[in-house]
């Protein structure tokens, strides 16, 4: 592929960034391509945390292919880092390699970088540009930007319903309302999330595993259960394999010990009403380096999360069927006036198999 302008260079780098979709957390997914005389002479993507960043991978790729990067242009989807984290600064690596120009799609919001990567390159005499396909680069790491800028994850709430917005019959039957294609698509969104959150009601009723299946990924997201009164069974499948975080509001030493035996960690975060303080939980998850949080819960926890301003985006799968009087999507209080409605905007609408997939964002 011939790269003759910055737009094409960043577009290709974004394709490389996507290769890290499931694996880089808590690091952002970054892509880098190195171009000389229109030819791609090296390319790379961010590896799992602690391993090489995209720029280092691209420089290695060029070296392995016997390509000289001196005088070349490096296209990166995020400003190269300037700090010593788990790995040394990419800006230094680019300087040492002798590239002539660096084009970044967007600045790194990490306060440890925040412009210093580009400044470092410039100080070394490298030509620098920033702000190409910025929106796409932001979308690629929407959770990382959220955590860096707001201290909390980007929260995506997934739900599947009939066209009249019903998720289950009153007798609980819900499998399956949407098609297999939509369910597999849902697992792709699970796979890219840092963590998947549900409530104790869903655990006790459906006994979900909350794992990624049917999508090829080497990493399983962390599982989180909001369980104010520690009511889930120690035999719940969501605990299998350990590492599940249980968020509670009312201590119960005996039950806590049982859950810990299953490898779970208990996070105690009560609010004044004796329930889990959901906004505080979002801050805590930010501190714990959760970039993208995927919520799959029942209508009550869904409603509470929305009512408390904890949700950024709905990922809705709507099947072409009507269920009539049945369980709704979100348990929200009745309004006296339309002025009180929660406004969203459609970010993306498309058909997946027989169903509609709607991404809608709270404004
Ligand atoms: C880059 N290229 O591919 C990525 C970057 O602990 P470390 O050394 O892995 O550094 C993590 C930080 O580096 C991360 O918070 C973000 O600011 C930046 N990510 N930077 O130059 C990359 N993934
Ligand atoms: Zn780096």
What HEC string does 183-228 produce? HHHHHHHHHHCCEEEEEHHHHHHHCCCCCCCCCCCCCCCEEEEECC
Domain end point (choices 94, 124, 142): 142
Distance CA 198, CA 208 (A): 9
81, 89, 94: residue to mutate for ligand 1 pocket, most atoms within 8 A of CB: 81
Domain assignment present for 258: yes
Question: pLDDT tens digit string along 189-221?
Answer: 999 999 999 999 999 999 999 999 999 999 999
The two structure tokens encoding residue 38:
């229109």
* pLDDT in the model for residue 165: 95
Provide mean pLDDT across the span 52-74. Answer: 97
Q: Are residues 197 and 176 in the same domain?
A: yes
Question: pLDDT tens digit string along 135-144?
Answer: 999 999 999 9
Report which protein residue has its CA nearest ligand 1's atom 4: 53
Would you tell me how many other CB atoms lie within 10 Å of the CB of residue 23? 19
pLDDT at residue 265 is higher than 80 = yes
Domain assignment present for 13: yes
Percent of the chain residues past pLDDT 90, beyond the cut: 93
Q: What is the ipTM of this complex?
A: 0.88
pLDDT at residue 23 is higher than 90 = yes
Number of structural domains the chain divides into? 2
Give yes or no for residue 46 CB within 6 A of ligand 1: yes
Q: List the CATH number of the domain containing 42.
A: 3.40.140.10
Q: Are residues 55 and 185 in the same domain?
A: no
Residue 41, domain extent: 6-142
Ligand nearest to the CA of 112: 1
Ligand nearest to the CA of 25: 1
Ligand nearest to the CA of 104: 1
Binding site as annotated, residues: 53, 81, 90, 160, 174, 176, 190, 202, 206, 210, 213, 228, 296, 298-304
Distances (CA, A) of 170 to 13, 120, 176, 207: 49, 61, 15, 18
Domain end point (choices 125, 142, 159): 142
* pLDDT in the model for residue 152: 98
289 neighbors 134 (Cβ within 8 angstroms): no
* pLDDT in the model for residue 175: 84
Domain assignment present for 188: yes
Task: Provide the β-strand partners of residue 80.
Answer: none
Q: Are residues 220 and 356 in the same domain?
A: yes
Domain assignment present for 155: yes
Give yes or no for residue 80 CB within 6 A of ligand 1: yes
Distance CA 197, CA 168 (A): 19
Q: Are residues 313 and 336 in the same domain?
A: yes
Q: List the CATH number of the domain containing 175.
A: 3.40.430.10
Q: Are residues 137 and 173 in the same domain?
A: no
Q: Where residue 363 falls among pLDDT bands split at 50, 70, 90?
A: confident
Domain end point (choices 115, 142, 169): 142
Q: Are residues 208 and 354 in the same domain?
A: yes
45, 108, 149: residue to mutate for ligand 1 pocket, most atoms within 8 A of CB: 108
Give yes or no for residue 141 CB within 6 A of ligand 1: no
Which is the catalytic residue, given 39, 55, 284, 308? 55
* pLDDT in the model for residue 1: 74
Question: pLDDT tens digit string along 271-327?
Answer: 999 999 999 999 999 999 999 999 999 999 999 999 999 999 999 999 999 999 999
55 is catalytic: yes
Q: Are residues 323 and 299 in the same domain?
A: yes
245 neighbors 273 (Cβ within 8 angstroms): no
| Separation of CA 355 and ligand 2 centre (Å) | 40
Domain assignment present for 172: yes
This model's pTM is above 0.90: yes
313 neighbors 154 (Cβ within 8 angstroms): yes
Domain assignment present for 356: yes
Distance CA 153, CA 283 (A): 8
Give yes or no for residue 108 CB within 6 A of ligand 1: yes
Q: Are residues 137 and 247 in the same domain?
A: no
Q: Are residues 191 and 85 in the same domain?
A: no
| Separation of CA 113 and ligand 1 centre (Å) | 9
* pLDDT in the model for residue 121: 97
| Separation of CA 251 and ligand 2 centre (Å) | 42
Q: Are residues 196 and 87 in the same domain?
A: no
Q: Which of 197, 187, 211, 215 is nearest to 155 (CA)?
A: 197
* pLDDT in the model for residue 86: 84
Q: Are residues 275 and 256 in the same domain?
A: yes
The chain-wide mean pLDDT, for the chain, equals 96
Q: Where residue 356 falls among pLDDT bands split at 50, 70, 90?
A: very high
Question: pLDDT tens digit string along 228-246?
Answer: 999 999 999 999 999 999 9
Q: Where residue 173 falls among pLDDT bands split at 50, 70, 90?
A: confident
Domain assignment present for 1: no
Domain assignment present for 16: yes
Q: Are residues 125 and 170 in the same domain?
A: no
* pLDDT in the model for residue 85: 84
82 neighbors 116 (Cβ within 8 angstroms): yes
């Amino acid at each position: 592929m011939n790269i003759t302008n910055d737009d094409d260079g960043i577009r290709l780098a974004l394709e490389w960034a996507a290769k890290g979709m499931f694996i880089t957390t808590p690091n952002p997914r970054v892509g880098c391509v190195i171009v000389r005389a229109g030819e791609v002479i090296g390319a790379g993507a961010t590896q799992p945390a602690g391993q090489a960043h995209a720029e280092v991978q691209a420089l290695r790729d060029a070296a392995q292919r016997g390509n000289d990067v001196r005088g070349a242009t490096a296209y990166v989807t995020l400003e190269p880092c300037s700090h010593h984290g788990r790995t040394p600064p990419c800006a230094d690596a680019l300087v040492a390699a002798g590239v002539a120009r660096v084009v970044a799609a967007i600045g790194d919001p990490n306060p440890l970088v925040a412009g210093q990567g580009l400044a470092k390159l410039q100080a070394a005499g490298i030509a620098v540009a920033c702000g190409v396909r910025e929106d796409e680069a932001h979308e690629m790491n929407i959770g990382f930007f959220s955590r860096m800028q707001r201290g909390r994850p980007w929260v995506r709430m997934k739900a599947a319903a009939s066209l009249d917005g019903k998720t289950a019959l009153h007798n609980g039957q819900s499998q399956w309302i949407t098609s297999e294609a939509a369910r597999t698509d849902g697992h792709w969104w699970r796979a890219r999330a840092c963590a998947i959150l549900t409530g104790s009601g869903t655990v006790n009723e459906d006994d979900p595993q909350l794992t990624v299946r049917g999508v090829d990924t080497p990493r399983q997201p962390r599982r989180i259960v909001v369980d104010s009164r520690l009511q889930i069974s120690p035999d719940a499948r969501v605990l299998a394999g350990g590492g599940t975080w249980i968020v509670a509001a009312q201590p119960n030493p005996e039950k806590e010990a049982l859950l810990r035996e299953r490898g779970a960690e208990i996070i105690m975060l009560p609010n004044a009403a004796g329930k889990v303080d959901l906004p505080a939980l979002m801050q805590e998850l930010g501190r714990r380096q959760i970039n993208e949080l995927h919520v799959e819960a029942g209508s009550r926890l869904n409603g509470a999360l929305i009512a408390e301003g904890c949700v950024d985006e709905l990922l809705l799968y709507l099947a072409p069927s009507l269920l009539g009087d049945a369980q709704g999507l979100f348990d929200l209080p009745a309004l006296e006036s339309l002025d009180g409605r929660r406004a969203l905007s459609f970010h993306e609408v498309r058909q997946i198999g027989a169903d509609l997939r709607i991404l809608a964002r709270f404004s």
